[in-house]
Amino acid sequence: MNELRKLILFTAVTGMAFAGACQQANQKTESKATNADKKTGYLSQPIISNIYTADPSAHLFNGKIYIYPSHDIETETKENDSGDHFDMRDYHILSMDSINGKVTDHGVALSIGDIPWAGRQLWAPDAAFKNGTYYLYFPVKDKSGVFRIGVATSKNPAGPFKAEPTPIKGSFSIDPAVFTDTDGASYMYFGGIWGGQLQRWNNGAYDKNGSKTDSQKENEPALSAKVAKLSSDMLSFDGEVKDVQLVDKQGKPLLTKDHDRRFFEGGWMHKFNGKYYFTYSTGDTHYLAYAIGDKPYGPFVYEGTFMKPVQGWTTHHSILEINGKWYIFYHDTQLSGKTHLRNVKVTELKHKADGTIEMIDPFVK
């Protein structure tokens, strides 16, 4: 009987220890989550639910809102920090006549099979219009597994688009965002670390064995987004690729270790009251941040964050003015609960009188 009691006691203690370990593991997992489970509702609802969409780039063409998102699909690829489970294969273009109006899914506008040089992973695109032509800019890994940026053209903002036979010369990494200034000049901002491979480029060369995260130089300036002026035909770079200079209010570059402020991915540019606002995602800390400059090339002085973490790992956005009001298009995982199956949303964005941006909480209490 004593031996039996010892066995029962041992089993109970072991079980409690195992349960405690599981609870600690769960707590660690939960600590990585955003504040989704701390709130009871969402600030806005998905604009469509028939397909999963993410990374929305919104534009106003011919008085109508067009959205150029990624098209998320289910994948059997195991989730990892390189984003291999984001294995998208085509783009659907969405449109609506007004904010919160009926959304039209125009179907497949460009498929990976229509891009001669493409390998896999059609990530976040953007679009532009000039000289009667619409341009769709997209990142995709080439057949050797290196992200490049391509361009496709159409006479219709909803497509279909025809891809150029080769990627843009001098392009690399991900997340192209094209900004056309009031003088008509257009610029492409691009780049992303970790799975976006920005950290593997140095002096125009790609290192396939490079870092999987960032520069790994914690006390040195963080890797920067890139910017290049586009040629008049919008199909190539007009000049060298430059760094997007992000500095603090003392003029010092943001450091690699400053994960709450440094650039990760998802850059966007908008202009407000003559100032240039470079907005971006901090990635592993899940904020949307912004910095303000006087020129398209910067430098841009870090101002703060303007959107708290959404449900899901990534935050990727665009900002658009419509009839005197500003809106932010973004995504979360409300419909699926899975980090690679996201849904696009939109809500109002407000600039304060001093030029700063009001904080947006994607949840309601």
- Full DSSP string of 197-252: -GGGEETTEE-TTS-SSS---TTSBPP--EEEEBPTTSSSBSS--EE--EE-TTSP
Calculate the average pLDDT of the chain.
Answer: 91
Q: Is 74 a catalytic residue?
A: no
pLDDT, residue 365, reads 78
* Length of the chain (residues): 365
Q: In this predicted structure, which of 12-21, 98-107, 234-243 has the lowest mean pLDDT?
A: 12-21
pLDDT, residue 228, reads 98
Cβ atoms within 10 A of the Cβ of 174, count?
Answer: 26
Q: Which residue's structure tokens are 């009188």?
A: 353
**Distance (Å, whole) CA 32 – CA 147:** 28
30 pLDDT above the threshold of 80: no
pLDDT band at residue 40, thresholds of 50, 70 and 90?
Answer: low
Q: Which residue's structure tokens are 């990976």?
A: 112
Summarize the chain as % helix, strand, coil (round to 5): 15, 40, 50
Q: To 10 degrees, the CA torsion angle through 111, 193, 54, 86? A: 60
| Sequence-distant (≥ 6) Cβ neighbours of residue 92 within 8 angstroms | 51, 53, 69, 71, 105, 106, 107, 108, 109
**Per the residue annotation, which of 175, 214, 265, 332 is the catalytic one?**
265
CB–CB of 89/158 below 8 Å? no
**Per the residue annotation, which of 37, 55, 84, 97 is the catalytic one?**
55
**Distance (Å, whole) CA 298 – CA 215:** 22
Q: Is 55 a catalytic residue?
A: yes
Rg (CA), the chain: 22
341 pLDDT above the threshold of 70: yes
Q: Tell how strand 246-247 and strand 300-307 pair up.
A: parallel
pLDDT, residue 36, reads 46
Q: Which residue's structure tokens are 């397909």?
A: 51
Q: In this predicted structure, which of 203-212, 270-279, 350-359 has the lowest mean pLDDT?
A: 203-212
17 pLDDT above the threshold of 50: no
Alpha-carbon 201 to chain mean position: 19
| Sequence-distant (≥ 6) Cβ neighbours of residue 33 within 8 angstroms | none
Encoding tokens for residue 96? 């609506």
111 pLDDT above the threshold of 50: yes
